[in-house]
Structure 1
Protein backbone atom coordinates (compact mmCIF):
# COMPACT_ATOMS: atom_id res chain seq x y z
CA UNK A 1 0.00 0.00 0.00
CA UNK A 2 1.52 3.38 -1.01
CA UNK A 3 2.17 5.72 1.89
CA UNK A 4 -0.45 8.20 0.65
CA UNK A 5 -3.13 5.51 1.04
CA UNK A 6 -2.34 4.74 4.66
CA UNK A 7 -4.36 7.71 5.86
CA UNK A 8 -7.36 6.60 3.78
CA UNK A 9 -7.15 3.04 5.14
CA UNK A 10 -6.86 4.40 8.67
CA UNK A 11 -10.01 6.47 8.15
CA UNK A 12 -11.86 3.34 6.93
CA UNK A 13 -10.62 1.40 9.97
CA UNK A 14 -11.85 4.11 12.32
CA UNK A 15 -15.25 4.16 10.63
CA UNK A 16 -15.43 0.39 10.93
CA UNK A 17 -14.58 0.60 14.63
CA UNK A 18 -17.14 3.36 15.15
CA UNK A 19 -19.82 1.25 13.46
CA UNK A 20 -18.97 -1.78 15.60
CA UNK A 21 -19.23 0.31 18.76
CA UNK A 22 -22.60 1.74 17.73
CA UNK A 23 -23.94 -1.71 16.87
CA UNK A 24 -22.77 -3.00 20.24
CA UNK A 25 -24.38 -0.12 22.12
CA UNK A 26 -21.04 0.96 23.59
CA UNK A 27 -19.63 4.47 24.02
CA UNK A 28 -17.86 5.95 21.02
CA UNK A 29 -14.59 6.09 22.97
CA UNK A 30 -14.85 2.64 24.60
CA UNK A 31 -12.36 0.97 22.24
CA UNK A 32 -9.09 2.42 20.99
CA UNK A 33 -7.23 1.50 17.83
CA UNK A 34 -3.68 0.18 18.09
CA UNK A 35 -1.89 0.29 14.72
CA UNK A 36 0.17 -2.90 14.38
CA UNK A 37 3.17 -1.72 12.43
CA UNK A 38 5.54 -4.71 12.47
CA UNK A 39 7.62 -5.03 9.27
CA UNK A 40 6.25 -1.69 8.02
CA UNK A 41 8.77 1.04 7.17
CA UNK A 42 8.95 4.12 9.36
CA UNK A 43 7.49 6.35 6.65
CA UNK A 44 4.21 4.44 6.73
CA UNK A 45 4.02 5.01 10.46
CA UNK A 46 4.72 8.68 9.83
CA UNK A 47 1.79 8.82 7.39
CA UNK A 48 -0.50 7.23 9.97
CA UNK A 49 0.78 9.73 12.54
CA UNK A 50 -0.09 12.61 10.19
CA UNK A 51 -3.61 11.16 10.01
CA UNK A 52 -3.92 11.31 13.79
CA UNK A 53 -2.76 7.86 14.91
CA UNK A 54 -0.60 7.90 18.06
CA UNK A 55 -0.52 4.31 19.35
CA UNK A 56 1.67 1.80 17.50
CA UNK A 57 2.25 -1.88 18.28
CA UNK A 58 5.51 -3.64 17.48
CA UNK A 59 6.47 -7.32 17.72
CA UNK A 60 10.19 -7.28 16.97
CA UNK A 61 12.44 -5.35 19.31
CA UNK A 62 15.32 -4.28 17.08
CA UNK A 63 12.98 -3.27 14.27
CA UNK A 64 10.96 -1.22 16.76
CA UNK A 65 14.05 0.50 18.16
CA UNK A 66 15.13 1.47 14.64
CA UNK A 67 11.70 3.02 13.98
CA UNK A 68 11.73 4.84 17.29
CA UNK A 69 15.06 6.41 16.33
CA UNK A 70 13.78 7.33 12.86
CA UNK A 71 10.63 8.94 14.34
CA UNK A 72 12.23 10.43 17.45
CA UNK A 73 10.92 13.93 16.69
CA UNK A 74 7.32 12.68 17.06
CA UNK A 75 7.39 12.94 20.82
CA UNK A 76 3.79 11.97 21.52
CA UNK A 77 3.88 8.57 19.82
CA UNK A 78 2.98 5.79 22.26
CA UNK A 79 4.85 2.54 21.68
CA UNK A 80 3.29 -0.80 22.62
CA UNK A 81 5.24 -4.06 22.63
CA UNK A 82 2.86 -6.85 21.61
CA UNK A 83 5.11 -9.78 20.67
CA UNK A 84 6.62 -12.68 22.62
CA UNK A 85 9.21 -11.36 25.05
CA UNK A 86 12.45 -13.13 25.93
CA UNK A 87 14.49 -12.47 29.06
CA UNK A 88 17.40 -10.95 27.15
CA UNK A 89 15.10 -8.31 25.61
CA UNK A 90 13.36 -7.03 28.74
CA UNK A 91 15.72 -4.16 29.53
CA UNK A 92 15.28 -2.41 26.20
CA UNK A 93 11.53 -3.00 26.25
CA UNK A 94 11.34 -1.56 29.77
CA UNK A 95 13.31 1.48 28.64
CA UNK A 96 11.60 2.22 25.30
CA UNK A 97 7.92 1.28 25.53
CA UNK A 98 4.94 2.54 27.49
CA UNK A 99 2.84 -0.62 27.18
CA UNK A 100 3.60 -4.35 27.07
CA UNK A 101 0.63 -6.51 26.08
CA UNK A 102 2.34 -9.90 26.09
CA UNK A 103 3.51 -10.72 29.62
CA UNK A 104 2.82 -14.37 30.44
CA UNK A 105 5.51 -15.28 33.00
CA UNK A 106 6.43 -13.90 36.39
CA UNK A 107 10.14 -13.96 35.49
CA UNK A 108 9.53 -11.56 32.60
CA UNK A 109 7.38 -9.27 34.75
CA UNK A 110 10.00 -9.12 37.48
CA UNK A 111 12.71 -8.22 35.00
CA UNK A 112 10.56 -5.48 33.43
CA UNK A 113 9.87 -4.02 36.87
CA UNK A 114 13.51 -4.10 37.93
CA UNK A 115 14.70 -2.57 34.65
CA UNK A 116 12.05 0.14 34.22
CA UNK A 117 13.65 3.59 34.61
CA UNK A 118 11.94 5.37 37.50
CA UNK A 119 11.65 8.65 35.60
CA UNK A 120 9.40 6.99 32.99
CA UNK A 121 6.76 5.98 35.50
CA UNK A 122 5.14 2.55 35.72
CA UNK A 123 5.06 0.34 32.63
CA UNK A 124 1.49 -0.46 31.56
CA UNK A 125 1.06 -4.25 31.48
CA UNK A 126 -1.42 -6.72 30.03
CA UNK A 127 -1.18 -10.43 30.79
CA UNK A 128 -1.46 -12.62 27.70
CA UNK A 129 -3.93 -15.48 28.20
CA UNK A 130 -3.96 -18.60 26.04
CA UNK A 131 -7.74 -18.83 25.72
CA UNK A 132 -7.59 -21.30 22.83
CA UNK A 133 -5.34 -23.77 24.62
CA UNK A 134 -3.00 -23.99 21.62
CA UNK A 135 0.40 -25.48 22.45
CA UNK A 136 2.00 -23.21 19.86
CA UNK A 137 0.61 -20.02 21.39
CA UNK A 138 2.13 -17.94 24.15
CA UNK A 139 0.02 -17.07 27.14
CA UNK A 140 -0.79 -18.12 30.67
CA UNK A 141 -3.51 -20.79 30.97
CA UNK A 142 -6.76 -19.34 32.37
CA UNK A 143 -6.52 -21.53 35.48
CA UNK A 144 -3.10 -20.02 36.35
CA UNK A 145 -4.10 -16.43 35.61
CA UNK A 146 -5.16 -15.27 39.08
CA UNK A 147 -1.91 -16.31 40.75
CA UNK A 148 0.16 -14.55 38.09
CA UNK A 149 -2.01 -11.43 38.21
CA UNK A 150 -1.58 -11.12 41.98
CA UNK A 151 2.20 -11.39 41.70
CA UNK A 152 2.46 -8.91 38.82
CA UNK A 153 0.13 -6.41 40.49
CA UNK A 154 2.53 -6.27 43.44
CA UNK A 155 5.60 -5.33 41.42
CA UNK A 156 6.67 -1.72 42.03
CA UNK A 157 7.37 -0.35 38.54
CA UNK A 158 4.50 -1.98 36.67
CA UNK A 159 0.82 -1.08 36.43
CA UNK A 160 -1.29 -4.13 35.67
CA UNK A 161 -4.07 -2.90 33.37
CA UNK A 162 -5.74 -6.04 32.02
CA UNK A 163 -5.58 -8.99 29.67
CA UNK A 164 -4.64 -9.77 26.08
CA UNK A 165 -5.36 -12.74 23.83
CA UNK A 166 -4.68 -13.95 20.28
CA UNK A 167 -7.30 -16.66 19.70
CA UNK A 168 -7.16 -19.21 16.92
CA UNK A 169 -8.76 -17.90 13.71
CA UNK A 170 -12.47 -18.60 13.29
CA UNK A 171 -14.82 -18.10 10.36
CA UNK A 172 -18.15 -17.07 11.90
CA UNK A 173 -18.98 -14.18 14.19
CA UNK A 174 -20.25 -16.51 16.91
CA UNK A 175 -17.09 -18.62 16.79
CA UNK A 176 -14.96 -15.49 16.93
CA UNK A 177 -16.88 -14.17 19.93
CA UNK A 178 -16.43 -17.25 22.13
CA UNK A 179 -12.72 -16.83 23.02
CA UNK A 180 -13.19 -13.09 23.45
CA UNK A 181 -16.06 -13.77 25.83
CA UNK A 182 -13.80 -16.16 27.72
CA UNK A 183 -11.16 -13.44 28.09
CA UNK A 184 -13.76 -10.92 29.25
CA UNK A 185 -15.00 -13.42 31.82
CA UNK A 186 -11.43 -13.90 33.05
CA UNK A 187 -11.16 -10.15 33.60
CA UNK A 188 -14.53 -10.02 35.35
CA UNK A 189 -13.52 -12.84 37.71
CA UNK A 190 -10.28 -11.06 38.61
CA UNK A 191 -12.14 -7.83 39.31
CA UNK A 192 -14.78 -9.61 41.40
CA UNK A 193 -12.14 -11.41 43.46
CA UNK A 194 -9.87 -8.37 43.77
CA UNK A 195 -11.93 -5.20 43.28
CA UNK A 196 -9.06 -3.07 44.55
CA UNK A 197 -7.18 -3.82 41.32
CA UNK A 198 -9.88 -2.39 38.99
CA UNK A 199 -8.43 -3.85 35.79
CA UNK A 200 -9.86 -1.96 32.83
CA UNK A 201 -8.19 -3.28 29.66
CA UNK A 202 -9.03 -6.01 27.15
CA UNK A 203 -6.56 -6.07 24.27
CA UNK A 204 -8.22 -8.34 21.73
CA UNK A 205 -9.36 -8.34 18.15
CA UNK A 206 -7.49 -7.84 14.89
CA UNK A 207 -8.34 -6.91 11.31
CA UNK A 208 -10.36 -10.08 10.71
CA UNK A 209 -12.40 -10.17 13.91
CA UNK A 210 -12.72 -6.58 15.11
CA UNK A 211 -16.52 -6.67 15.34
CA UNK A 212 -16.57 -9.81 17.50
CA UNK A 213 -13.97 -8.33 19.87
CA UNK A 214 -15.88 -5.06 20.23
CA UNK A 215 -19.09 -6.93 20.99
CA UNK A 216 -17.30 -8.74 23.83
CA UNK A 217 -15.81 -5.59 25.37
CA UNK A 218 -12.44 -4.96 23.73
CA UNK A 219 -10.79 -1.73 24.85
CA UNK A 220 -7.87 -2.06 22.40
CA UNK A 221 -8.15 -3.61 18.94
CA UNK A 222 -4.88 -4.35 17.16
CA UNK A 223 -5.16 -3.62 13.43
CA UNK A 224 -2.34 -4.17 10.96
CA UNK A 225 -3.43 -5.16 7.47
CA UNK A 226 -6.60 -3.04 7.70
CA UNK A 227 -4.36 0.03 8.00
CA UNK A 228 -1.12 -0.82 6.21
CA UNK A 229 -2.18 -3.49 3.74
CA UNK A 230 -0.40 -6.79 3.22
CA UNK A 231 2.58 -7.17 5.50
CA UNK A 232 5.94 -7.13 3.69
CA UNK A 233 8.41 -9.90 4.60
CA UNK A 234 10.99 -9.16 7.29
CA UNK A 235 14.40 -8.30 5.84
Structure 2
Protein backbone atom coordinates (compact mmCIF):
# COMPACT_ATOMS: atom_id res chain seq x y z
CA UNK A 1 0.00 0.00 0.00
CA UNK A 2 1.30 3.44 -0.93
CA UNK A 3 2.34 5.82 1.81
CA UNK A 4 1.04 9.39 2.01
CA UNK A 5 4.49 10.61 0.97
CA UNK A 6 4.36 8.41 -2.13
CA UNK A 7 0.85 9.60 -2.99
CA UNK A 8 1.95 13.22 -2.59
CA UNK A 9 4.86 12.61 -4.93
CA UNK A 10 2.50 11.07 -7.49
CA UNK A 11 0.09 14.01 -7.11
CA UNK A 12 2.88 16.51 -7.75
CA UNK A 13 4.03 14.52 -10.77
CA UNK A 14 0.48 14.57 -12.16
CA UNK A 15 0.30 18.31 -11.49
CA UNK A 16 3.60 18.85 -13.29
CA UNK A 17 2.40 16.86 -16.32
CA UNK A 18 -0.90 18.76 -16.41
CA UNK A 19 0.77 22.17 -16.29
CA UNK A 20 3.46 21.17 -18.78
CA UNK A 21 0.82 19.99 -21.24
CA UNK A 22 -0.61 23.51 -21.45
CA UNK A 23 2.78 25.25 -21.18
CA UNK A 24 2.23 26.60 -17.71
CA UNK A 25 4.84 26.65 -14.95
CA UNK A 26 4.34 23.94 -12.32
CA UNK A 27 4.44 26.55 -9.56
CA UNK A 28 1.54 28.42 -11.20
CA UNK A 29 -0.86 25.86 -9.68
CA UNK A 30 -0.93 25.08 -5.96
CA UNK A 31 -2.00 21.77 -4.49
CA UNK A 32 -4.36 21.91 -1.51
CA UNK A 33 -4.42 18.64 0.43
CA UNK A 34 -7.99 18.08 1.65
CA UNK A 35 -7.64 16.34 4.98
CA UNK A 36 -11.27 16.23 6.16
CA UNK A 37 -12.12 13.12 8.24
CA UNK A 38 -8.45 12.12 8.27
CA UNK A 39 -6.48 11.88 11.54
CA UNK A 40 -3.83 14.33 12.66
CA UNK A 41 -1.20 11.63 12.11
CA UNK A 42 -1.96 11.67 8.36
CA UNK A 43 -1.44 15.42 8.22
CA UNK A 44 1.85 15.01 10.05
CA UNK A 45 2.98 12.46 7.44
CA UNK A 46 2.12 14.88 4.64
CA UNK A 47 3.89 17.69 6.49
CA UNK A 48 7.01 15.59 6.95
CA UNK A 49 6.92 14.93 3.20
CA UNK A 50 7.11 18.69 2.66
CA UNK A 51 3.47 19.67 2.21
CA UNK A 52 2.11 22.83 3.84
CA UNK A 53 -1.37 23.62 2.43
CA UNK A 54 -4.29 21.78 4.01
CA UNK A 55 -8.04 22.12 3.54
CA UNK A 56 -10.78 21.26 6.04
CA UNK A 57 -14.55 21.12 5.47
CA UNK A 58 -15.86 20.91 9.04
CA UNK A 59 -15.26 23.71 11.53
CA UNK A 60 -14.88 21.78 14.78
CA UNK A 61 -12.76 19.03 13.26
CA UNK A 62 -10.54 21.57 11.55
CA UNK A 63 -10.03 23.67 14.67
CA UNK A 64 -9.10 20.58 16.70
CA UNK A 65 -6.45 19.68 14.13
CA UNK A 66 -5.11 23.24 14.00
CA UNK A 67 -4.79 23.29 17.78
CA UNK A 68 -3.17 19.85 17.86
CA UNK A 69 -0.58 20.96 15.30
CA UNK A 70 -0.13 24.48 16.64
CA UNK A 71 3.65 24.07 16.82
CA UNK A 72 3.79 23.58 13.03
CA UNK A 73 3.39 27.30 12.45
CA UNK A 74 4.12 27.23 8.71
CA UNK A 75 1.01 25.21 7.83
CA UNK A 76 -1.51 27.22 5.83
CA UNK A 77 -5.05 26.20 6.81
CA UNK A 78 -7.92 26.64 4.35
CA UNK A 79 -11.57 26.31 5.33
CA UNK A 80 -13.39 25.01 2.25
CA UNK A 81 -16.79 23.87 3.53
CA UNK A 82 -20.13 25.58 4.10
CA UNK A 83 -20.00 28.05 6.97
CA UNK A 84 -22.83 29.02 9.31
CA UNK A 85 -22.67 32.31 11.17
CA UNK A 86 -22.60 30.61 14.58
CA UNK A 87 -19.29 28.94 13.62
CA UNK A 88 -17.72 32.04 12.11
CA UNK A 89 -15.83 32.99 15.29
CA UNK A 90 -13.86 29.73 15.30
CA UNK A 91 -12.99 30.08 11.64
CA UNK A 92 -11.99 33.73 11.99
CA UNK A 93 -9.73 32.93 14.91
CA UNK A 94 -7.99 29.81 13.57
CA UNK A 95 -7.91 29.59 9.77
CA UNK A 96 -5.70 31.45 7.28
CA UNK A 97 -8.11 31.20 4.34
CA UNK A 98 -11.83 30.76 3.77
CA UNK A 99 -12.72 29.54 0.27
CA UNK A 100 -16.48 29.35 0.71
CA UNK A 101 -17.74 32.93 1.10
CA UNK A 102 -21.23 33.00 -0.41
CA UNK A 103 -23.15 35.55 1.67
CA UNK A 104 -22.49 39.12 2.73
CA UNK A 105 -23.67 38.20 6.24
CA UNK A 106 -20.87 35.65 6.61
CA UNK A 107 -18.25 38.00 5.19
CA UNK A 108 -19.31 40.77 7.57
CA UNK A 109 -19.24 38.44 10.54
CA UNK A 110 -15.79 37.08 9.71
CA UNK A 111 -14.55 40.64 9.31
CA UNK A 112 -15.91 41.64 12.72
CA UNK A 113 -14.39 38.61 14.44
CA UNK A 114 -11.00 38.58 12.69
CA UNK A 115 -8.00 40.15 14.37
CA UNK A 116 -6.95 43.35 12.58
CA UNK A 117 -3.32 42.25 12.90
CA UNK A 118 -3.59 39.57 10.20
CA UNK A 119 -6.11 39.67 7.38
CA UNK A 120 -8.17 36.59 6.55
CA UNK A 121 -7.70 35.55 2.92
CA UNK A 122 -11.02 34.77 1.28
CA UNK A 123 -12.41 33.35 -1.95
CA UNK A 124 -15.95 33.82 -3.18
CA UNK A 125 -17.64 30.49 -3.87
CA UNK A 126 -19.46 30.54 -7.20
CA UNK A 127 -22.41 28.29 -8.03
CA UNK A 128 -21.35 28.22 -11.66
CA UNK A 129 -24.07 25.80 -12.78
CA UNK A 130 -26.91 27.39 -10.78
CA UNK A 131 -27.67 24.22 -8.79
CA UNK A 132 -30.47 24.63 -6.27
CA UNK A 133 -28.80 22.26 -3.80
CA UNK A 134 -25.34 23.83 -3.91
CA UNK A 135 -23.89 26.79 -2.05
CA UNK A 136 -22.29 29.75 -3.79
CA UNK A 137 -23.25 33.03 -5.39
CA UNK A 138 -24.56 33.00 -8.94
CA UNK A 139 -22.17 34.20 -11.65
CA UNK A 140 -24.11 37.44 -12.13
CA UNK A 141 -23.74 38.18 -8.39
CA UNK A 142 -19.95 37.82 -8.22
CA UNK A 143 -18.98 41.43 -8.84
CA UNK A 144 -21.45 42.73 -6.26
CA UNK A 145 -20.21 40.25 -3.66
CA UNK A 146 -16.60 41.11 -4.51
CA UNK A 147 -17.25 44.79 -3.90
CA UNK A 148 -18.77 44.00 -0.50
CA UNK A 149 -15.85 41.76 0.53
CA UNK A 150 -13.24 44.19 -0.76
CA UNK A 151 -14.67 46.91 1.46
CA UNK A 152 -14.02 44.92 4.66
CA UNK A 153 -10.82 45.91 6.42
CA UNK A 154 -9.94 42.55 7.99
CA UNK A 155 -10.56 40.40 4.91
CA UNK A 156 -8.35 40.11 1.84
CA UNK A 157 -10.19 39.12 -1.31
CA UNK A 158 -7.95 36.72 -3.27
CA UNK A 159 -10.25 35.21 -5.89
CA UNK A 160 -12.87 32.57 -6.60
CA UNK A 161 -13.69 28.93 -5.86
CA UNK A 162 -16.16 26.57 -7.47
CA UNK A 163 -17.42 22.99 -7.32
CA UNK A 164 -18.93 22.33 -10.76
CA UNK A 165 -21.97 20.18 -11.33
CA UNK A 166 -21.25 16.46 -11.20
CA UNK A 167 -21.71 14.14 -14.16
CA UNK A 168 -21.08 16.72 -16.85
CA UNK A 169 -19.49 15.86 -20.17
CA UNK A 170 -15.97 17.16 -20.75
CA UNK A 171 -17.36 19.88 -22.99
CA UNK A 172 -19.88 20.99 -20.37
CA UNK A 173 -17.22 20.93 -17.66
CA UNK A 174 -14.85 22.93 -19.86
CA UNK A 175 -17.59 25.51 -20.37
CA UNK A 176 -18.06 25.76 -16.59
CA UNK A 177 -14.34 26.25 -16.05
CA UNK A 178 -14.04 28.82 -18.85
CA UNK A 179 -16.89 30.87 -17.38
CA UNK A 180 -15.09 30.77 -14.03
CA UNK A 181 -11.88 31.89 -15.70
CA UNK A 182 -13.72 34.81 -17.30
CA UNK A 183 -15.10 35.90 -13.90
CA UNK A 184 -11.60 35.55 -12.44
CA UNK A 185 -10.13 37.82 -15.13
CA UNK A 186 -12.87 40.38 -14.48
CA UNK A 187 -11.93 40.47 -10.81
CA UNK A 188 -8.20 40.70 -11.59
CA UNK A 189 -8.88 43.89 -13.56
CA UNK A 190 -10.69 45.41 -10.59
CA UNK A 191 -8.67 44.33 -7.55
CA UNK A 192 -4.86 44.11 -7.31
CA UNK A 193 -4.68 41.15 -4.93
CA UNK A 194 -6.70 38.68 -7.01
CA UNK A 195 -4.47 35.67 -7.71
CA UNK A 196 -6.38 32.47 -6.84
CA UNK A 197 -8.87 30.45 -8.88
CA UNK A 198 -9.58 27.32 -6.84
CA UNK A 199 -11.15 24.69 -9.07
CA UNK A 200 -10.40 21.11 -9.97
CA UNK A 201 -10.25 17.93 -7.94
CA UNK A 202 -8.85 14.47 -8.60
CA UNK A 203 -11.20 13.60 -11.47
CA UNK A 204 -11.09 16.91 -13.34
CA UNK A 205 -7.69 18.36 -12.41
CA UNK A 206 -6.30 18.29 -15.96
CA UNK A 207 -9.30 20.08 -17.44
CA UNK A 208 -9.31 22.65 -14.64
CA UNK A 209 -5.64 23.45 -15.19
CA UNK A 210 -6.16 23.70 -18.94
CA UNK A 211 -8.78 26.37 -18.23
CA UNK A 212 -7.01 28.58 -15.73
CA UNK A 213 -7.10 26.96 -12.27
CA UNK A 214 -4.39 28.18 -9.91
CA UNK A 215 -5.26 25.76 -7.08
CA UNK A 216 -6.51 22.17 -7.18
CA UNK A 217 -8.05 20.43 -4.18
CA UNK A 218 -7.02 16.79 -3.76
CA UNK A 219 -8.17 14.50 -0.95
CA UNK A 220 -8.33 10.77 -1.65
CA UNK A 221 -5.43 11.04 -4.11
CA UNK A 222 -3.23 11.95 -1.15
CA UNK A 223 -4.85 10.45 1.93
CA UNK A 224 -6.67 7.48 0.43
CA UNK A 225 -10.36 6.66 0.53
CA UNK A 226 -12.43 8.15 3.32
CA UNK A 227 -14.18 5.83 5.74
Per-residue deviation, residues 51-94 of structure 1 (Å, max 9, x unmatched): 11100000001111111122222111110000001000111101
Unaligned runs of 5+ in 2: none
Work out the CA distance in 2 between the residues paired with 1:173 and 1:23. 17
Q: Within 2, Cα distance between the matches of 1:201 and 1:149?
A: 14
Name the residue aligned to 2:73: 75
Aligned with 1:208: secondary structure?
A: helix
SS of 2:164's partner is coil
The structural deviation recorded for 1:27 is 1.2
Provide the residue aligned with 1:174 in structure 2.
171
Gaps of 5+ in 1: none
Is 1:21 aligned to residue 16 of structure 2? no
Moved more, 71-80 or 97-106: 71-80
SS, match of residue 12 in structure 1: helix
Report if aligned partners of 2:4, 2:46 keep a CA contact under 8 Å in 1: yes
1:129 aligns with 2:115: no
Can you list the C-alpha shifts for 1:85-123, whole angstroms capped at 9, x where unaligned?
10001111011010000001111001111110123x110
The residue matched to 1:9 in structure 2 has which SS?
helix
Structure 2 distance, partners of 1:55, 1:99, is 10
Is 1:54 equivalent to 2:52 in the alignment? Answer: yes
> Residue 9 of structure 1 aligns with which residue?
7
Deviation at 1:42, TM superposition (A): 0.6
The aligned counterpart of 2:205 is 210
Number of positions where the alignment pairs a residue of Structure 1 with one of Structure 2: 227
- Structure 2 partner of 1:45: 43
1:163 corresponds to 2:182: no
Other structure's SS at 1:40 match: coil
Matched, 1:226 2:214: no
Shift of 1:170: 3.5
The CA distance in 1 between the partners of 2:169 and 2:23, in whole Å, is 21
Instruction: Output the CA distance in 1 between the equivalents of 2:168 and 2:124.
Output: 26
| CA apart distance, 1:169 | 2.0
Q: Residue 148 of structure 2 corresponds to which residue in structure 1?
A: 151
Offset from partner CA, 1:107-153 (integer Å, 9 cap, x none): 1001111110123x110010000001110100000111111111110
Is 1:102 the counterpart of 2:100? The answer is yes
Match of 1:117 among 104, 115, 118: 115
Q: Normalising by the residue count of structure 2, what TM-score does the alignment of the two structures yield? A: 0.96
- Once the two structures are TM-superposed, the CA of residue 201 in structure 1 deviates from its matched residue by 1.0
Give distance in 1, aligned partners of 2:195 and 2:9.
Answer: 26
